[in-house]
Structure 1
Amino acid sequence: MAALIDAIDVKRKTTFELEGVPYYCLDADISSPTARGGQTLVRLRMRNMLTRAVFDKTFKASDKFKEPDLQTIPATYLYSDGDGSYFLDQESFETLQLGEAMVDDALELMVEGLAIQIDLFNGNPIGLTLPAQVELAVRSTEPGVKGDTASGGVTKAAVMETGLEIRVPFFIKEGERLKVTTETREFAGRA
C-alpha cells in the first residue's frame, strides 16, 4: 500500500497524489490559527503533472495524500512526427511515444540521440526531464561587425539547428556547437 503524506508535511518539490492525479508542489504556505479551536491550513501552489496546469488550493493540515507511483527512466530521443515524439527506453530498449502536450516546447532543445529522463505514472509516460544543458549547432547568425567588442556584452540573434532562437556573443559563427541552458534557454558557452 502506498504511504500517506499529511498536507502539513508537503514542501516545495514534493510529489503527491490527489484524486488519482499526480501533483508537484511549487510552493507551500502554512497558516496557523490565531483563535482557539481554529484549524491550521496549508495553501499549496501545485502543478498537475498530467495536464501541466498550475493552481493554488488550500487544505486542512490533517488532510492526507497518497504517495504517487512515479518512476523516472533514462531514455534517448529518436525522432518526432505528426503522431508525437519517440524515445528509446535505455533499460528495456522499448520505444516509448509521448504526445505533443507531454513534450511541449522541449522539442526546440532536443536533437537525435539526446539523453533525457522520462517520467512515468502508474507505468505510463507523462512527461520528460531535459538535462541542465544541451549542445546545439548554430544554423544561422549574422556575422559580427568589427568594433562591436568595445561596448562589451554585445549579442546577436542566432537560430540553432532545432529552430530555437537565442542571443549569443557577436563572435559566434554559423556551424559552431554551443551549450544552451535548458531552463532559461540562454547561451551558456561553446561546446
Structure 2
Amino acid sequence: MIKANTLKKGNIVDIGGQPHQVKDMEVQTPSARGSNTLYKVRFTNVVTGQKLDQTFKGNDTLEELEMERRPVSFIFRNQDMYTFMDSENFEQYTLGEASLEGKTEWLVEGLEEITALLLNGRVMAVELPASIDLEIVDTAPALKGASATNRNKPATLSNGMTVLVPEYLTPGEMIRVNTETGKFMSRVKS
C-alpha cells in the first residue's frame, strides 16, 4: 500500500482492478484551518490508455502494483507499432502508438536506457530516459557575440522536433533535450 502524499510520477497503482500509472500530480493546500491537503492525480490506464482524474487526501491509501522493470532499447517502428528489444535476454516487445502517448517523438532507432514495465510477462508501458542527445540539423546562423545574450532561436533536431536553443548553437552540434518537457538542457561536448 502507498499513501497518496507519497505518490510520484510513474508509480503504478490498482484502481478498480486495472493498472493505472501516475502521469501528473497537483497539490492543493486549502487556506482554511483544519482542511486537508488534496492531491489531484491524473492517471492513465496502462492497458487501455484511458485517462482518469482523481482527488485524494494525504492519508488515503492505494494498492501499488509490483511491475517487473526490464532494460530495453528501441529498435524500429512499423506504421503505428513500436518494437523494443530486451537488453538482457533479447526478447522483443511491441507497443502501439496509443500506449506511447507523448513519447514517440523521442524514440530514435538504437535509443537505449529505456525501461519496459511488465505485468505478468506482458509489457504495459515504457519509461524513457530523462534526457537524450540529438543533433541540430537546421537552425539560423550563429550570431557573433550571441553567447553574451540570453535569447533563443528555434532549431530542428535529427528526430524532426523543433526546440528553442541558445543563439550561439549551429547545425551539426549535439544537444541534450529533456524528454519530459521537450526543452533544451545543454550542449553535448564531443
TM-score range, shorter chain: 0.7 to 0.9
Instruction: Say if 1:15 and 1:23, in contact at 8 Å, map to a contact too.
Output: yes
CA distance in 2, matches of 1:102, 1:96: 12
Fraction of identical pairs, as percent = 27
User: Shift of residue 47 of structure 1?
Assistant: 0.6
2:75 is aligned to 78
> Are 2:84 and 1:113 aligned?
no
> Greater CA deviation, 122-131 or 11-20?
11-20
Normalised by the length of structure 2, the TM-score is: 0.77
Gaps of 5+ in 1: 35-39
Instruction: Say if 1:12 and 1:27, in contact at 8 Å, map to a contact too.
Output: no
* Secondary structure in structure 1 of the residue aligned to 2:102: helix
Gaps of 5+ in 2: none
Deviation per residue, 1:146-168 (Å, 9 max, x gap): 35455x11211101011111011
Match of 2:13 among 11, 16, 19: 16
2:53 is aligned to 55
Choose 1 or 2 for highest CA Rg: 1
Instruction: Say if 2:45 and 2:52, in contact at 8 Å, map to a contact too.
Output: no
CA RMSD of aligned residues (A): 3.0
Normalised by the length of structure 1, the TM-score is: 0.76
Match of 2:152 among 150, 155, 158: 155
> Are 2:163 and 1:173 aligned?
no
CA distance in 2, matches of 1:149, 1:81: 42
Match of 2:88 among 75, 82, 91: 91
User: Shift of residue 19 of structure 1?
Assistant: 2.1
1:103 is aligned to 100
Deviation per residue, 1:106-147 (Å, 9 max, x gap): 222222211111122332222211111101011111112335
Residue identity opposite 2:130 in structure 1? A
Residue identity opposite 1:122 in structure 2? N
Q: 1:153 to 1:187 in 2, by over 3 A?
A: same
* Secondary structure in structure 2 of the residue aligned to 1:108: helix
User: Shift of residue 24 of structure 1?
Assistant: 3.7
Instruction: Say if 1:88 and 1:95, in contact at 8 Å, map to a contact too.
Output: yes
Instruction: Say if 2:135 and 2:158, in contact at 8 Å, map to a contact too.
Output: yes
